[in-house]
Amino acid sequence: MANMFRLLKADEIEARIQSVKENGAVILLYKDARVDQNILDETVGPMNWQKSYSRDNANCTVSIWDGGKMQWISKEDTGTESNTEAQKGLASDSFKRACFNWGIGRELYTAPFTWIKAEYLNITNGRCYDNFKVTRIEYDDQNRISFLEIYNMTKKCICFKWSSKTPQQRAEANERAEGSQKPAEAPRMAQKPSSEYVCSVCGKAIEKRVNDYSVKKYGRPLCMGCQINNSR
């Protein structure tokens, strides 16, 4: 069964540092709870889903109303505490994980290993506090990430760009995308081919049969009008 929820857009994906070394850092992609709430509202309607917590917010259950079965369908998962606001972070994490079970943002599991070289970062004493954003993301027909671009907002540069496609496939995809954005050209009017036969008096183009007739009768190419005048 296909996932009922759409894929995440670039501006819905957060990027943060997972670990730092002298020569670079590893970036982790994630979504926040607001994105899950918005997508649930957008897909099933704000009145057709609900969440509940148990075990002091460690577990969250997200339920969606099935109109065909006339019952709530539920999926549950557990979370972990955050470094700040432990209980709030625990509730948020368990909710996001339950939404993963429903398929929201599951494509993030297909992200490539996101290693950023030190030249694109501000690393001081083994730490980096740069801020990042995903500026572009694409998916293949299996809902797997096929292209990813990350921008370092602190250093003001693209710090990571990855594609699962070959350079030739990438160029062809860009060409198709650019072509789809071009305005359609207005249909061209068929141009009337110029005639090789011309009236020797007025210079008007004439058909071959008229030319042949006038040459045979008058000894020179004449249009029908000039033939009438010549007969007078």
Q: What is the pLDDT of residue 51?
A: 96
Low-confidence spans in the chain with pLDDT less than 70: 1-2, 82-87, 166-195, 231-232
Residues in CB range of 96: below 8 A, 6 or more apart: 30, 31, 32, 33, 36, 79, 105
The Cα–Cα gap between 38 and 3 comes to: 16
Q: What is the pLDDT of residue 195?
A: 57
pLDDT in tens, 55-73: 988 899 999 999 999 999 9
Domain borders along the chain are 10-167, 196-232
What's the pTM value of the predicted model, to 2 decimals?
Answer: 0.67
Q: Give whole-number Cα distances, 125 to 82, 132, 155, in Å.
A: 24, 20, 17
